[in-house]
Amino acid sequence: MKKRDIWISIAIVGAAVLLLCLHSWGQGRIEIDAGDATAVLQLRSNWFRHTTVASAAGPASAGAGVHRPRQLSISTEEGGHTWRINSRGPWIRLSRIRVKNLKTTAVRLGPPLLIKPKVHRYGPVVDIDFTIVGQAGERYEKFAFKDNRVVRKAKVRIVDETGNIIEAGSFKYG
């Protein structure tokens, strides 16, 4: 009697493990919409499964389940140069990307980028900082790359909704 109960328990546990494995081994697709820019998104779903999705390549195959971003790179070509900006989080709405078996998950990220200024006053000193935020709420690093080199003296253009330049200049201290 005890031997039969052990075998029944082993069979139940084995069936549960098999169902769990079959469910997690499903495949879906992830598609990135980054507008006119090219995006490369590196994802992880667990310790063993990593996926890289590029917007230029179209939908990429990914295991069914929840994926979390590790790194995002947005690049664009302008004037014969490649401009790139990276993100390592925080991810806000991208923090959990759920992929369903045999379904395509669309992810909108990147441009238009929003520059959010932060102004702090310490007596007579005013500190102006900023955060670069993408359309999914992802935050980008505060420096850009031009042809794989960090841009040292960044220039800034302030434009209105129609694209007219309101003000242009460069940062005095980089």
pLDDT at 23: 55
Which contacts qualify for 52-56: CB closer than 8 Å, 24 or more apart? Answer: 53/107
Lowest model confidence (mean pLDDT) among 32-36, 87-91, 96-100, 150-154: 150-154
- Asked if residue 22 has pLDDT above 70, the reply is no
- Asked if residue 158 has pLDDT above 80, the reply is no
pLDDT classification of 171: cutoffs 50, 70, 90: low
Distance CA 145, CA 171 (A): 16
Structure token pair of residue 110: 């990147």
Provide the greatest CA pair distance for the chain: 86
Domain boundaries, the chain: 27-170
| Fold of the CATH domain 27-170 | Immunoglobulin-like (2.60.40)
pLDDT tens readout for residues 38-68: 999 998 877 777 888 888 888 888 888 888 9
Q: What is the pTM for the complete model shown?
A: 0.71
Look up residue 57 and give its DSSP letter: G
Distances (CA, A) of 142 to 81, 82, 95, 136: 19, 17, 20, 17
Distance CA 72, CA 61 (A): 18
Mean pLDDT value of segment 108-130: 85
pLDDT at 1: 59
pLDDT at 87: 92
